[in-house]
Amino acid sequence: MAAKKPAPAKEEPDIEIKRVPEAAPPPLPKGKPDPNVVQRQASDPSASVWVTASAGTGKTKVLTDRVLRLMLNGAQPDQILCLTFTRAAASVMTNRIREELSAWATCDDDSLEERLTKLNGVKPDEDTTKRARQLFAEFLDAYGGMRVQTIHSFSQSLLRRFPIESGIPPYFDVMDEQTSSEMLREAQADVLRDVQRDPTTPLAKAVQMVTPEVPEDDFAAIIGELTYRRGQLFSVFGQNGGLEGTIANIYKYLAAPTGTDTATMMAQLNSNTGLNGTAPDIKALREAADTLAGGTPSDLEKAKIIKAWILHPAQREELFNDYVSVFLTQDGDMRKRLTTKATADAQDALEKEAKRLIEGIEAISTMNVARGTEALLRLTAAVLEKYTEKKRSLNLLDFDDLVYNANKMMSQDNAAGWVLQKLPGNLKHILVDEAQDTNPDQWELVAAVAKEFFTNPARKASKDNTIFVVGDEKQSIFSFQRADPREFNLHKQFFADLVKQAGGRWREVEMEIAFRSSPAITRAVDAVFANPEASDGLFFEGDNGEKQVRHNPFRRGQAGVVEVHPVIRAEKAEEPKPWSLPLQMEAKPDPSVEMADKIADQIKGWLDSGEQLQSRKRPINPSDIVILVRRRSEFVDNMVRALKKRDIPVAGADRMALREQIAVMDLVALGEVLLFPKDDYKLACVLKSPIIGLNDQQLENLAVGRSGDLWEALKTKAADKKADKIYHDAFEYLSGLQKNMNAERPYEFYSRVLMNPCPANAKSGLNAMYSRLGFEAEDPLVEFMNAVERFEKIHTPSLQGFLSWLDAGEAEVKREMNMNPETPRVHIMTVHGAKGLEAPIVFLPDTTGLPEDNARARPKFLWPAGDRKVPLWVPRADFESSVFVREREKAELERDREFRRLMYVAMTRAADRLYVYGAQNADKSSEKSWYSLIRKGLEENLKDEIETLKPGDDGSVKSLAASFRKKAAKATPAAKGEEETPRDDSTILRFTVKQTARPQPDGLKPLGKSKTVGIPVWARTLPNADQTPVTKFRPSEYKGSNDNHSAPSPLEAEKETYFRKLGTVVHELFEFLPSLPPEDREAAAKKHLAKPGWNLSEKDQEMAVKEVLKILGDPEFGGLFGPNSRAEVGITGLFDKAGVKQMMSGQIDRLVVDDKSVLIIDFKNSVHIPKSVDDVQYKYIVQMAAYRLALQQIYPDKEVKCALLYTRQAKLVPLPAAKLDEALKKIDLKPHVSKKPDVKPSAPKGPQP
């Protein structure tokens, strides 16, 4: 690519791109490429490697292979540090390494040999095979695990491990984005309050300069940008010697005057002495005015303006705009015609004055840039200082603090060596993933570690240290996170020099074999970016056009499609008839709605017809489809609505501005009204919302003519029996919510709003929302409730606090896109959000816009770039100086280059099919748009391989003759009856590669029958009436007895507790010893009793063993522990106790069931041993009577007997039936009458009898 450089004098950033004659990509070479060759070069553990990996070329596999080969080569897991861009990427890589090492440890020898040969390219020897078997254990045993983490996680670990060196307490917490935004908002409010207290400070003057010139929204936006990129701002301050040094350098860079202001300089410019020593030539101007007075009417008008300015020195500033218009255009350039032929004698004087004005206005603009930047920096620095104080007081750090403080620590003398020495293990190898997305601060941290590797004499001598970097400058799209492709190339050279000077091996590898995309996609991408106007920005400027976008597809022979559909344009609305009344709402044509419907119809047709993905030999699944947009606009909502309307499952957008959702706005307004009912506007919004449901006429009847506020009017209407019932329902509903809101947490409050009936819907508020807003309200409502839950986890729950918290933060919900095919859904996300992802089918609908169309994308704050080391800012466009304009145009050029890199990322997400759509209001698409670049690249570089189709009104398509595709069509009009050549973007372009190889099934199951999307049953039905809870009754805890032994003496509490514990242990022995052989029981019992946790005396241990073994060995008790017995049988049942239904639950120690009877045994370890049944404690009688009654319901044909076994004397006390019946009668306990038995035994622990 050749380009004309701008003239040095003008320093214009625009470039003229010359067409390269041979732009078309060459045809694919025959034969399938072998990716292992390049991948082994990249994963060579003995060399430091810089890998440039195009999209879909398997960089994650190369990273994994690199780690595996390092470990095979002798590296320990804790000697490797792998830095990734996201936590998800770190998790994926860790899992891949674990799975491969696990396979090495468990597979057979032949499989292991095959795996190692494929990895290394040579057959493994015995030592290599042996080491491979051991690596999984080393991986699991590594201290803290293998370090595969994000740069922020690595920084956090450094700060926690080295609190003294970093000056950061080790117990700090890291804030989330919502908390950080809230704290920044508080800091901003604190600064503005300080300014109000003392308006004479430099900070106050800065605020006074900024705020009058900037709208409220723009002010919040610019402060938000600077605080969001505070890490970069701190770096700017650090490079320029702090805030004051930065301000001084700004004035120096601009050559701007200090100690003055706009008013002073404007007065000087209008004075006879002039500005900066350049005075107006009053005499020459008078003569020029006289000359102009004799010319044309326009000359006469100019003469009047000049004379008025000369004759009224005190009013010159008021006349200045008219005066300047005589000499300069609105753009500030000298007018081409200052005079006419008749007044040409005045030309020289007017030109001289015009030049003086240009220089003066430029000087004022330069001063405005300097003062504006100074004011903004002072204000932002004050906000950040308050913000830092708040963080320090709470011992909090944000994500930028992690990297900033880690860099600060590592930059100290010998700090890097000390840190690496004290880190666990002996770090020797660094791997950096997604290097193109790494910002300068993060590079600085990596460079600090690398310098220690290759410059420290002790480490340098080992020759074992390596660095591995993988990235792709073509995919650098995160400039808002300070990523810069120039840093990518600068650090490539930096690390190359570092490694070579240390005597290490350096290698640069380019990976172009694309595993992801089919040949149709790769050839289309290559064709589009073969044109210089599309590839500008994809490569480093120093490459001088030598590089080209080239992909070598691995999936040769696999089918693929690329289609470019016509741009959908807005239909011109009919002109309204004169004097027509606005009685009906007119539909505004929206091309984005039509485009969403077309895409949804296409997807619906695929799913209904079972359209096949030929390369995978299966029908299309909704999870195959991703719709990518440049930015979140109304189209996303339209697209979600169109898909849901057709019952197509959709995951919604990947991010959501929560407060911009109508459903959320209604819920927020409801909360605000209940907190402050006097807000008439908010109350009107709530009354019109889906929850209340007043129509326009009802609201008008309520509001018009009221004497007080709207709340009082509603209260009055509600009391009026003749008024519409809706007013009464609305007031009662809102009053009820207001009454309970302070007693409820926000989550409970909004749950009640959504789940309970409301005036607009007798079923629920949720049903009312869906009825009015449709099912697209589901996602906002779910995320709103999630936000309420998050708030309650970190703040004291209150409705007012929640609404304030929601308003303080950005309230942008980042939603994890679960692209699991098991839950098939169409996904809609931004191209930035899709970075690193792929899909068989990709739609690109947002292709006709340009960055300059978005006012927010216009650079306002210019960060340091190139030779300029200071930032620049002006509050308004008319304040811009020529220097600022020049630097802004450079920033816009870089923005547009990233715009084209974003297109590359978007196109390369597709694996099999790519569909390009577009919608706009303008008649013609911009040549710089994605749509035009893609269409032009396909038409010019794939030529006759492109099929051109004409869409019909019925959705059908018609193939056009090849002559219609050629640009050189004759300009002569078509003859009558002949078909005219369609407009360039009115046809469908289709590039198809047919299936010629064997399909590669991915194992995804066909989609089952679609279910109608609707409101779930629970949301459409009223909940059952509250049921009175059943009282629980435990027989073993019966307290209706006056037994002398029912409670221990306070003085004997410790002794009683000890014996209770002893009884518990004895119970356990009776539970498990019967299942053991008799000869093993004594040893098992002693071992159990001797456990330190029991803390039993040796005497009691011996006594317990003796008692238990005596009972187990006594023939009298043999049946209790035989095959028909069960231990610890849980039992539950419903009974009527004193006429009240109660739930009984209990635990039977031993249950014996034979053919004719059931025996219930309860073990007692009580000190009190009854001499007869009359001495048994009454509560035990009640307990056993209840158990007996329950089992009588289960075994009605058997006799149920009860007995107590006192373990201390091995005494069995049978309980007579009459005594048990008497106890039941006394406590009035009867079986609960029901259709089915309510009594059932719980699952037994032992074998069933």
The residue-averaged pLDDT of 660-668 equals 90
Nearest to 1061 by CA among 1073, 1053, 1072: 1053
pTM as predicted: 0.73
Per residue in 1094-1105, pLDDT tens?
788 888 888 888
Supply the pLDDT for residue 978: 43
Nearest to 38 by CA among 19, 14, 57: 57
DSSP letter at 971 equals -
Q: Is pLDDT of 1012 > 60?
A: no
CA distance 781 to 773: 11
The residue-averaged pLDDT of 414-421 equals 80
Nearest to 1160 by CA among 1131, 1180, 1182, 1188: 1188
Per residue in 545-584, pLDDT tens?
567 888 989 989 999 999 999 999 887 766 667 766 666 6
Per residue in 79-123, pLDDT tens?
888 998 888 888 888 899 999 999 999 999 899 999 999 998 899
Per residue in 970-999, pLDDT tens?
344 444 444 444 445 688 999 999 999 999
Torsion angle of the four alpha carbons 468, 474, 475, 479, in this order, in degrees rounded to the nearest 10 = 100
Q: Is pLDDT of 1239 > 50?
A: no
Per residue in 866-889, pLDDT tens?
889 999 998 888 888 999 999 999
Nearest to 89 by CA among 148, 155, 177, 156: 148
pLDDT band at 966 (very low <50, low <70, confident <90, very high): very low
Q: Is pLDDT of 467 > 90?
A: yes
CA distances to 59, 147, 554, 561, 586 from 35, in Å: 11, 28, 8, 24, 60
What is the residue type of 40? R
pLDDT band at 685 (very low <50, low <70, confident <90, very high): very high
Supply the pLDDT for residue 285: 93
Beta-bridge partners for 1152: 1125, 1159
Residues with Cβ < 8 Å from 707, sequence gap 6 or more? 713
Supply the pLDDT for residue 938: 94
Tokens, residue 55 = 């999209």
Per residue in 130-169, pLDDT tens?
999 999 988 888 776 788 889 999 999 899 888 888 888 8
The phi and psi torsions of 612 (rounded to 5 degrees) equal: -95, 140
pLDDT band at 358 (very low <50, low <70, confident <90, very high): very high
Helix (H) or strand (E) run with residue 1062 in it: helix 1053-1072
Tokens, residue 1001 = 């099934």
The residue-averaged pLDDT of 1083-1094 equals 84
Q: Is pLDDT of 725 > 50?
A: yes
CA distance 183 to 126: 60
Supply the pLDDT for residue 225: 80
Residues with Cβ < 8 Å from 967, sequence gap 6 or more? 939
Residues with Cβ < 8 Å from 245, sequence gap 6 or more? 237
Q: Is pLDDT of 906 > 60?
A: yes
CB 196 within 8 A of CB 187: no
Per DSSP, the three-state class of 1046 is: coil
Tokens, residue 451 = 């310098």
Supply the pLDDT for residue 410: 87
DSSP letter at 372 equals H
CA distance 376 to 380: 6
Tell me, rounded to whole angstroms, the distance of Cα 744 from its chain centroid.
30
What is the residue type of 878? D
What is the average pLDDT value for the chain, to the nearest integer?
A: 83
CA distance 156 to 19: 50
CB 108 within 8 A of CB 171: no
What is the residue type of 593? V
CA distances to 3, 4, 892, 894 from 7, in Å: 12, 9, 18, 19
> From the DSSP assignment, how many helices (H) and strands (E) are in the chain?
43, 35
CA distance 269 to 786: 60
CA distance 851 to 899: 7
Which domains can be identified in the chain, with CATH numbers?
34-170+399-515 (3.40.50.300), 173-259+368-395 (no CATH), 262-365 (no CATH), 560-571+589-652+822-857+886-970+982-993 (3.40.50.300), 655-814 (1.10.486.10), 1032-1241 (3.90.320.10)
Classify residue 723 by burial, with Cβ atoms within 10 Å: 0-12, 13-18, 19+: middle
Question: Which residues in 514-524 are b (16+ Cβ under 10 Å) and which e?
Answer: bebbbbbbbbb
CA distances to 23, 36, 101, 122, 517 from 65, in Å: 36, 11, 11, 15, 22
Nearest to 1087 by CA among 1099, 1100, 1105: 1105
Provide the pairing of β-strand 173-174 with 872-873: unpaired
Helix (H) or strand (E) run with residue 1182 in it: helix 1178-1194
Provide the pairing of β-strand 988-993 with 655-657: unpaired
